[in-house]
Structure 1
Amino acid sequence: MSDCNQSVPKLSIAILVVGTRGDVQPFLAVARKLQEYGHCVRLATHSEFSGLVKSAGVDFYPLGGDPRVIVEACTHPDPITGDSFRAQAIIANPPAYAGRVDVAEALGVPLHIFFTVPWTPTCAFPHPFIPHISHRAGYWLSYVIVDILIWWGLRGHLNKLRKNKLNLSPINGLLDTNQVSISHLPTTYMWSPRVLPKPNDWGPLVDIVGYCFVDLGIKYEPPQELVEWMQKGVAPIYIGFGSMPLKNPENTTNIVLEALKNTGQRGIVDRGWGGLATHAQDVAENIFLLSTDCPHDWLFPQCCAVVHHGGAGTTAAGLKAGCPTTIVPFCGDQSLWGAIIYERGVGPAPIPIAHLSVESLSKAMRFMLQPEVKSRAVDVAISVRDDDGAAAALDSFHRHLPLPNLEQGDQVQTIFGYLARFCCLFCAS
């Protein structure tokens, strides 16, 4: 335990996460590490992840639904133990724009940003939402542009919150992006610095701590038919696109099945939210159609390679498992991780979903099956496994705490209500 940890008092911490399952899971690892230290932690996210959060032993509060119900759920004592909860610090991810800075300002509590995607301005690479900038001079500017666009979209909602709920003065400047920007906030990034090192222009407010994994596979009981299929042959290639929508699931399915046939490989095809292989019939024996949730930390180590959309969480799971990887990006940060996979030599150049074809996917599969690619993937896996991201995240959080100001934490009684109410209003707008 670092020296800074030894001087930090036990706190009540509110964690606010907006995003997909891959966004939520790393926060569970951090929440558990905070709890191990002795902090009281509540995690607010979407209702569909209630079971996931509770199964990790973390208190869950829903982000969505009727604002009045959310306020009651987030400000009342624990419904089981009756213990009171008064947040003394906030942890949030950037997509949780809904008043996180304003609430922290009004209530006098520290705010710390955690994320799995680069969001701090840098000249090293462009903003993940504007990935096709070719000139380095525009990289840093791309982050400013995104902040401005978000601020223009949110300033009316945020100013209503400031005036009506928080008794704060409105912010009218069209270019005053401090309420949505994270540049001035302590920020902890949850990926391996061996995969994406810290840019030279990120200062001491920013830490990269390593991947924060939750080992869901330990308790997983796979379907017997999957176990039997896995035992019948060599390690398969996994193909799945998670929560990404598919414009033409049948066509994408045909591409996947033909590429597996061309390369003579066994394949696990994950239907996901996009309905991949939903209507496939008479599938060959070397194909297994996965229609139920299966933890990547259980499945990927049994695969010889993986093909997926390139979400930060899925990419991390593939790297940890030592799997050569092909990323088929749809949007957002996926192109960034695809480019990094290619630069590290553990997979081919990313194939945007619009360019996916039997030829391009077959070529990518053959690339991944090369022994030297597998060797590099194993090397990356070893380095990734050496990181204790959750422990480093705890250190980062403690190191950036304004300890002299924490005595004021008892003033905070309704922070979760404010956050949840405004997030709900914003999501519904």
Structure 2
Amino acid sequence: MKVTLVSYGSLGDDVPLVALALGLRDAGHQPVIVAEQGARALTAEHALEFHALAGDIAELMRPGAPIAQAVEAGRLTLGSFKNYRRDDRAWLETIAAAAAGSDVVVGMPVAGCHALAVAADIGARPVIAELQPLAPTRAFAPSGLGDVRVPRALNRMLGRVVDHAGWAMMARSVNRARRELGLPRTSNPTRGARRLGAWSPTLVPPPDDWPANVSVTGAWRLPASARWRPDPALQAFLDAGEPPVYVGFGSMPSFSGTRPLMDALLTGLAGRRVILTGSAAERVAASEDVFVTGFVPHDWLFPRCAAIVHHCGAGTTHAALASGTPSIPVPFTLDQPFWARRLHDLGVASPPLDPRRPDPDAVRAALAHVRTDRVRERAADLGRQVAAEDGVRAAVSALEDLSG
């Protein structure tokens, strides 16, 4: 079975796609990845066939660009919609060339309409893969809107509006590109497609009003690399004292409040050993109690920490939960407030901190919260449960059933 996997996003989108591709290959299938150019190194590391979509995600994260606007505002804005540019024709051409002969085409939401339109063109089975729950339900509002709380009766309607709006915003440009390529006009290609939810059912159980075409597999995690070794300085820091507090915000761009936020975090964590990574480490000087590092696999580092201060991206949220280490959520935008609330509601995290209202006292209170026996025991308990889930295997089985 040939399966083409399509995404356009940052490392948090690339890792689960590569994890699924490896699972497919191990099961004897032929995976092909089509993604943003930043995925090239990761796919090459695992010897996977890769095709790059036109564009540069880094351009969308620079100050004033669409993703940076959403981070600055804490939500999607009209500007982040209007200024988001895609080369629809190039995307359709690249996906079609890579997917030729595919039995199944899997698309993540940003490039999902392009991927599933191609699936219809070539007669492949269409699948939408989602790292966060987006299918309409009475249980909660669409996760991509953040921690939205409306009367329960309105949740499903709001989900349908979001479902419709996604295609409505790109329909004209996608169909213009299809016309240029000599292809017929398409209606929403994702309507009725099989949906795979790549998150833990422990974290978000499937609502009972979801149709049969929606299934939750568990998170798609890469297997631990046997070749990875920690920097000796990092290992020495970990060995030198009590488990540190991790602070990292993944691939999130810096925003105007980054400096005050980091000042508040470091002040609130004073007296604790701290490891900083990514944008959290920018312009922060290392010291005896503060270690600044580059990339370290979450599944290696998080179990060695006392608490995880993070932005609650889907991947980091699952890695923190699986590690058995409590979280201190600092959600910035989009689905991050949704995950932050889920972690807190499960009893494995403090109430979320507001990155736009940094407060050292709130940091101290959050740290005291996650150091209680109740939270630590709950985190360890759920960590064992989530770590035992095999989302990749479940997703491969679902795709095999679909093509069979």
Q: What TM-score comes out, normalization by structure 2 length? A: 0.85
User: Which residue number in structure 1 is paired with residue 173 of structure 2?
Assistant: 157
1:88-103 alignment, distance < 5 Å: 88-103=103-118
Q: Which has the higher contact order (CA 8 A, sep 6+)?
A: 1
Deviation readout 1:249-274 (Å, 9 max, x if unpaired): 3222211211111xx3111111x2x3
Does the 8 Å contact 2:95/2:115 carry over to 1?
no
Q: 1:170 to 1:340 in 2, by over 3 A?
A: closer
In the aligned structure 1, how far is the partner of 2:104 from the partner of 2:206? 26
Which structure has the bigger radius of gyration?
A: 1
1:238 equivalent in alignment to 2:238: no
User: Which residue number in structure 1 is paired with residue 226 of structure 2?
Assistant: 218
Q: What is the aligned counterpart of 1:268 among 256, 262, 275?
A: 275
Deviation readout 1:394-420 (Å, 9 max, x if unpaired): 11112233x4xxxxxxxxxxxxxxxxx
What is the identity, as a one-letter code, of the residue corresponding to 1:25? V
User: Which residue number in structure 1 is paired with residue 347 of structure 2?
Assistant: 345
Q: What is the aligned counterpart of 2:267 among 258, 262, 265?
A: 258
Does the 8 Å contact 2:116/2:127 carry over to 1?
no
Does the 8 Å contact 1:217/1:298 carry over to 2?
no
Q: CA deviation at 1:385?
A: 1.7
Q: CA deviation at 1:187?
A: 0.9
Which runs of structure 1 show a deviation greater than 3 angstroms over 4 or more consecutive aligned residues? 65-77
User: Which residue number in structure 1 is paired with residue 283 of structure 2?
Assistant: 279
User: Which residue number in structure 1 is paired with residue 292 of structure 2?
Assistant: 289
Q: 1:374 to 1:185 in 2, by over 3 A?
A: same
Greater CA drift, 131-140 or 362-371: 131-140
Q: CA deviation at 1:75?
A: 7.2
1:187 equivalent in alignment to 2:195: yes
1:40-79 alignment, distance < 5 Å: 40-65=30-55
Q: 1:145 to 1:85 in 2, by over 3 A?
A: closer
In the aligned structure 2, how far is the partner of 1:277 from the partner of 1:387? 32
Q: What is the aligned counterpart of 1:302 among 301, 304, 308?
A: 304
Does the 8 Å contact 2:53/2:94 carry over to 1?
no
Deviation readout 1:196-222 (Å, 9 max, x if unpaired): 111001121111111221134532222
What is the identity, as a one-letter code, of the residue corresponding to 1:268? I
Deviation readout 1:68-103 (Å, 9 max, x if unpaired): 9988977779xxxxxx96323201111214423322
Counterpart of 1:22 in 2: which secondary structure? helix
Counterpart of 2:235 in 1: which secondary structure? helix
1:107 equivalent in alignment to 2:107: no
User: Which residue number in structure 2 is paired with residue 396 of structure 1?
Assistant: 398
User: Which residue number in structure 2 is paired with residue 355 of structure 1?
Assistant: 357
In the aligned structure 2, how far is the partner of 1:324 from the partner of 1:288? 20
Greater CA drift, 19-28 or 325-334: 19-28
Deviation readout 1:15-44 (Å, 9 max, x if unpaired): 101222112211222111111222111111
Greater CA drift, 212-221 or 133-142: 212-221
Counterpart of 1:330 in 2: which secondary structure? coil
In the aligned structure 1, how far is the partner of 2:283 from the partner of 2:200? 38
Does the 8 Å contact 2:10/2:38 carry over to 1?
no
1:125 equivalent in alignment to 2:155: no
Percent of aligned pairs with the same amino acid: 28
Q: CA deviation at 1:153?
A: 1.9
Deviation readout 1:326-379 (Å, 9 max, x if unpaired): 111111111111111011100112123213321111111111111221111111
Deviation readout 1:157-209 (Å, 9 max, x if unpaired): 122133332531455xxxxxx33xx4511111112212211100112111111
Q: 1:72 to 1:353 in 2, by over 3 A?
A: same
User: Which residue number in structure 2 is paired with residue 317 of structure 1?
Assistant: 319
In the aligned structure 1, how far is the partner of 2:213 from the partner of 2:45? 32
Does the 8 Å contact 2:53/2:90 carry over to 1?
no
Q: 1:135 to 1:74 in 2, by over 3 A?
A: closer
Does the 8 Å contact 1:32/1:57 carry over to 2?
no
Name stretches of at least 5 consecutive residues in structure 1 with no aligned partner: 1-10, 78-83, 172-177, 404-429
In the aligned structure 2, how far is the partner of 1:191 from the partner of 1:28? 15
Number of residue pairs matched by the alignment: 371
Q: CA deviation at 1:61?
A: 1.4
What is the identity, as a one-letter code, of the residue corresponding to 2:265? V
Q: What is the aligned counterpart of 1:248 among 253, 257, 261?
A: 257
Does the 8 Å contact 2:7/2:112 carry over to 1?
no
In the aligned structure 2, how far is the partner of 1:295 from the partner of 1:338? 21
User: Which residue number in structure 1 is paired with residue 60 of structure 2?
Assistant: none
In the aligned structure 2, how far is the partner of 1:152 from the partner of 1:114? 20
Q: 1:43 to 1:116 in 2, by over 3 A?
A: same
Does the 8 Å contact 1:102/1:162 carry over to 2?
no
Q: What TM-score comes out, normalization by structure 1 length? A: 0.81
